[in-house]
Structure formats: structure tokens, C-alpha cells
Amino acid sequence: MTLPGTAIAALALPLDNSFASLPPSFYTRLMPTPLPAPYLVGLSAPAARLIGLDPAAVNEDTVAMFAGSRVPERAQPLAAVYSGHQFGVWAGQLGDGRAMLLGDVATPQGPMELQWKGAGMTPYSRMGDGRAVLRSSIREFLCSEAMHALGVPTTRALSVAGSDQGVVRETIETAAVVIRMAPTFIRFGSFEHWFYRNDEASLRILADYVIDRFYPALRDEDNPYAALLEEVTRRTARLIAQWQAVGFMHGVMNTDNMSILGQTLDYGPFGFMEAFDAQHICNHSDSQGRYSYAMQPQIGHWNCYALAQALVPLIGEVEETQAALDVYQPEFGAAVDRLLHAKLGLTQIPEQQEADRQLLDGLFGILQDSHADFTLFFRRLAGVQAASNAGDEPLRDLFIDRPAFDAWAERYRARLRAEASDDAARKAAMNAVNPKYVLRNYLAQQAIEKAQHKDFSEVERLLAILQRPFDEQPEHERYAALPPDWASALEVSCSS
């Protein structure tokens, strides 16, 4: 595994330190706390290649770097400060309690920041130990790369490194470090931080940094800050539409977990919808269901409102702020409509708008009543034929209420005929948007349990499958199956 000379190459990552150019009050410089005897748990080859790291050249020194036990030469590690609303309540200062920025690397997609998550305590750790456990690190690693492959905007994950060092949660677990990548990890809460401190100068510095670096076109707008709010609101609306369409539930949509780039950020107690229930709550700690599947769109809007409030001092006018926020509903509605039409293999036709709304309402009604598996439903829907029910059987099997399904399927067929839909072409198009493979909780759990016994093969296999979620991969059929009975007892909480 060790190739001479590659240690230097890996550790000499061509890092810049853009974020560190902000005033010192935005962060604390510090070094990660090394973990003893780190080992490689998972590596995303595409993510590695993106930052110019040859996956084949990963060696002991690279793994030590992944674990935060070695620091690349040009890194200027820092933990950033931010605040936020947690579960709807102002929580005051939070900050990177266990994440540390290494710096940013130029890539074909623009600069990518690299961040260790779980690399030790920072001034913002509060009651935490600065660590992350293997279980939650594997979940974040797999889901980041799975979401990317699904075409959902997200932070990426490069690696997971583990160590036998114990970490106390409900039981004693072991430590791990994920390296995450994103153009920036600035959150809504980064802005709220300066607003609640009445520090308009710092607020402006942050907004100018974000505009100049990530939204340069907005600089020419009459009010760049209003334009920033509007663009972030649009991206957030579109992001959440994509979550709904793929059945992703974030679990902790606090404002400190909302990316200013409109990417999925911070994978904790997330889940993918299985037996459909619009009220499903994936986070066991969320007793009120604030972040249930059905609530996500509304919460996305609420979070944009929190960002808007923080930006009022820069935007200047409440009316303009309100106008920027008002784009949320139409943007979300249009995005969901587009995505659902694609999932059903339908063309958006103005004359069919009202009928399609009823068709979709009817669909979510029967999914809910039968608790049909969300991913399998849309994947199997591609097998329906416009002319007859000959292809219905695999889909029909997912329903308890078969007559309700049959009635809906007839309406769907009529709608397909109304646009003279071609079965083969539609199937190909639908299979390109309805994934066969998603990160079901029980699949993650199986990979985690093996990894806890030092067998990382399932992490690798699952990652490879999830990197091609739309491909049939017949050799991996069982990864697309309904979850086993024991899966319903799995609980994921904020403990990570």
C-alpha cells in the first residue's frame, strides 16, 4: 500500500487559506488532536481525484492526515464561529465544536474547502468532546457521496479514518474522522451570529466575502445583499424540493445546519423514506416532529426567514427583504412540480395542470394509506404500460389496498395516453431520475456493524453501489429490496 514518495505528495496538498483571510474574530486557529494508530475505513475515489489526490497513492501518512494526526504543510487549521436557531429556539453561539478547516484546494469545479470532522476539541466545543463516533462518521461519509450521485447539492466526503480510541456516548464507541469537502461551510447561522451581536461591520464583511467568492454575479445588482438573500432562498427551495422528491429527510434542519450555498450540510440522524408516511420523523430526538418529511418545505422557508432577519441591516429595507423571501413558495412549488412530473414520466402540459395536481394528490394518498415503499414505488412505476395493466404486478404488490392502487393506475394510464407516451422511452427517462439504490438505514447499519469489527468491505461495497444509484446493478439486487423486519426497530438520534 505504501509507495515511496507519495507521502510527500499527499501531505503537500496545494492548499490555500481563503477563509483565514477573514478577520480573526471569525475563527480560532488551532491544531487537530491526533488519534492513536489511525486506519482507513473508507475513501471516495471520485472525491479524492477531484482534489488531485490519487486514490492508489493513499498510504499510512495520508491516512494519518485523514485522521487529523498529521497536518498538511500548507494547512492553517481553524475552527469557525457561528450561532443559530435549534429546533426553532435561538441557541446563541455554537461554532465548529469538532470540525476544523484545513484550507481550500483548487479543483476543476472551483476551490474546495477540506474540513476534518471529529478531530478534537475547539473553543466552540461547549459540553462536547470534539469527537465523532465511527457509526455516525460512516453514515455521513456514505450519505454525502450517495446524495452527490443522486444529483442533490451536498457537501462531499473524501474519507473516513478510524482509531481504537474510545468515545463515550450511550455506550463506549470508537472515534473516527471524516474529511468533508465543500466550496464553503458558511451557514445561515454564520450571519445570525453577527446580527445577534449587533456587529454590522462583521456582518457586512461576511456577506461581501460570500458574494465576491461564491455569487460574484450579484455584485452588479442594485442591492447585492437583497439579491444574495433571494438567490439563497431560491437555492434552498430547490434543494428541499429535491429532498422531497428523493425521500430524503435531514433530521436536524437547524439554521446552523443550513448552507449558504444551498447544499445539504451536516448528516446526522437523516433517513430515506421507506414505508411512505408523510408525517415520518427520522430523528428519534425530535419528539415534536418539527423536522418530519411533511414539514421540511415549511422549515426551509422558516430558516430563510431567520437568514433574512439577519440580513435586514445590510439590505436596509424590510419590504425588499420580504420580497426576496417571497420567492420561496413559487420556487419550491415549481421545482417540486417539475421533479414529480419527471418521476412519473410525464411532460408538463399547461392544459393538464389541474388534472395532474389531482393525480399527484391521489398518488400520495394511496402511498400513505398503504405505506408503500417510496423508492421501490417510483422505480417500479417505470414498468407500467400505457395500454394495459400487464406491467402493473410488481408495483401492485407494494400496496395493501389493491383496488385503490388499480383505480389510480387507470388514471395514470389515461394520462400517459393523453400525451401519447412511449413505454420504452418513458422507462429509460424515469430510471434516470428514480433511483434504484438509496442509503436505507439498515444497509448503513450492516456496514457499520462490520466496520465495528474492523471489516470495512461493506462500507466499500455500499459506497460503490450508491455511487451508481440509477444503474440496475443486477448483481446487487438485494440492496434494492424492501428492508427486513428488524430494520423498523432501528433508531437514529442526535447522538453522534
Kindly list the catalytic residues: 256
Which one of ligand AMP, Mg ion, none is in contact with 131 (Cβ closer than 5 to 8 A by kind)? ligand AMP
For residue 128, state whether it binds ligand AMP (rule: CB under 6 A): yes
Stretch of 249-257, 374-382, 465-473, 479-487 lying at the interface with Mg ion (CB under 5 A): 249-257
Could you tell me how far CA 341 lies from the centroid of its own chain? 23
Instruction: Give DSSP secondary structure letters for 433-459.
Output: TS-S----HHHHHHHHHHHHTT--HHH
Give whichever of 269 and 345 is closer to ligand AMP, judged by the CB atom.
269
Instruction: Give DSSP secondary structure letters for 90-123.
Output: EEEE---SSEEEEEEE--TTS-EEEEEESS---T
For residue 123, state whether it binds ligand AMP (rule: CB under 6 A): no
Residue 126 CB, shortest distance to ligand AMP, in Å, is 6
The single residue among 98, 180, 380, 436 that binds ligand AMP, judged by CB under 6 A, is: 98
DSSP-derived 3-state class of residue 254:
coil
To which H or E segment does residue 164 belong?
strand 156-168
Contact 141, 448 (CB under 8 A): no
For residue 173, state whether it binds Mg ion (rule: CB under 5 A): no
Q: Looking up cell 442526535, which residue turns up?
A: 494
For residue 257, state whether it binds Mg ion (rule: CB under 5 A): yes
d(CA 177, CA 77): 15
Stretch of 6-14, 49-57, 124-132, 150-158 lying at the interface with ligand AMP (CB under 6 A): 124-132
Q: What are phi and psi of 130, to 5 degrees?
A: 75, 5
d(CA 177, CA 99): 9
Cβ burial of 243 (10 Å; 0-12, 13-18, 19+) is buried
Give whichever of 256 and 356 is closer to ligand AMP, judged by the CB atom.
256
Alpha helices in 267-317 (DSSP H): 296-315
d(CA 395, CA 363): 13
Chain residues 249-278 in contact with ligand AMP, contact rule CB under 6 A:
252, 256-257, 266, 268
For residue 189, state whether it binds ligand AMP (rule: CB under 6 A): no
Which one of ligand AMP, Mg ion, none is in contact with 116 (Cβ closer than 5 to 8 A by kind)? none
The single residue among 33, 125, 446, 493 that binds ligand AMP, judged by CB under 6 A, is: 125
DSSP state of 215: -
Give whichever of 118 and 262 is closer to ligand AMP, judged by the CB atom.
118
Which one-letter amino acid corresponds to residue 160? V
- How many other β-carbons are positioned within 10 Å of the β-carbon of residue 27? 24
Spell out, one character per residue from 263 to 282, where the chain touches Mg ion: x when CB under 5 A holds, - when not: ---x----------------
Binding positions: 95, 97-98, 117, 129-130, 180, 187, 257, 266
Interface residue list for ligand AMP (CB under 6 A):
94-98, 124-125, 128-131, 252, 256-257, 266, 268, 494
Interface residue list for Mg ion (CB under 5 A):
257, 266
